[in-house]
Amino acid sequence: MAHLTLSQVGISFTRGGKTSEVLRAVDLSIAKGEFVSIIGHSGCGKSTVLNIVAGLLKASTGGVLLGGKEVNAPGPDRAVVFQNHSLLPWLTVRENVALAVDKVFRGKKTRPERTEWIEHNLALVNMMHAADKRPAEISGGMKQRVGIARALAMEPKVLLMDEPFGALDALTRAHLQDSIMEIQMRLKNTVIMITHDVDEAVLLSDRIVMMTNGPSATIGEILTVPLKRPRRRLDLVEDATYVHARAAVLEFLYARHAQPAVLAA
């Protein structure tokens, strides 16, 4: 049985008496330990899919099953790495992770165990050196590392990442992608990542879910990326499988499902 199942998920928003359907009939099954990317043009509702899985939005139709149980409220079993890191600026790096760890593992781990677990997760993303700094004192890439550490520290059944590297420069982004791959190799997390970067999707994913344009967006196609791990970005540049997968995603996004504005231009 699939670890995470979305069946016939749809959502409509009503504003000023007008109802608009954003998502329609999204069906997706994700196996344990799988890394799945969702890619699509901006405004197609890919973040909406993630927010429904996270429980931050309620689906109008259909439902989400995680480990055989329906989910309809947010919880630490579906930890989210937010696009803009969402660290609390008045807490230090360590306290930000501690807020989550102390809440999620209260009663399950003793205080020294929790302290050790916080440091373990900060070390995982190489952020121990800045543990006592506040978010305003560290760079954007570091903030996102802390966001990832906070999410990983909740030991989620599925890790949700909402354009985690969208606000970062290209070099920092590549660095973090490598970190994510390495951590993924070690922990075997189930991951859903929203992205609009084709290279990022191909490099990181086992499968790429391509969304059609809204309104009433849905899954257009799912591409399996049969690249062996560990993947090294330099080796992949001329790898036939990589090039082919990349071309397939580009073709979907820019030829068959180009944005109207792009088509006109």
Which stretches of the chain bind other proteins, using CB under 8 A?
54-56, 74-76, 78-80, 82, 84, 86, 88-90, 99-100, 103-104, 134-136, 154
Residue pair 23/10 in contact (Cβ under 8 Å)? The answer is yes
Find the shortest distance in angstroms from Cβ 215 to other proteins. Answer: 23
Which residues, other chains included, contact 129 with Cβ-Cβ below 8 Å and sequence gap of 6+? Answer: none
Residue indicated by tokens 């807490």? 91
Find the shortest distance in angstroms from Cβ 199 to other proteins. Answer: 27
Q: Which is nearer to other proteins, 41 or 85 (CB)?
A: 85
Which residues, other chains included, contact 13 with Cβ-Cβ below 8 Å and sequence gap of 6+? Answer: 19, 20, 22
Q: Which is nearer to other proteins, 99 or 227 (CB)?
A: 99
Count how many residues are written for the chain: 265
Q: Which is nearer to other proteins, 46 or 257 (CB)?
A: 46
Find the shortest distance in angstroms from Cβ 56 to other proteins. Answer: 6
Find the shortest distance in angstroms from Cβ 77 to other proteins. Answer: 10
Find the shortest distance in angstroms from Cβ 82 to other proteins. Answer: 6
Q: In one letter, which amino acid is 254?
A: Y
A 10 A CB-CB count for 9 gives 24
Alpha carbon 10 to its chain centroid, in Å, reads 19
Q: Which is nearer to other proteins, 13 or 233 (CB)?
A: 13
Q: Which is nearer to other proteins, 88 or 123 (CB)?
A: 88
Residue indicated by tokens 């919880």? 75
Residue pair 40/213 in contact (Cβ under 8 Å)? The answer is yes
Residue pair 96/135 in contact (Cβ under 8 Å)? The answer is yes
Q: Which is nearer to other proteins, 87 or 245 (CB)?
A: 87
Find the shortest distance in angstroms from Cβ 218 to other proteins. Answer: 25
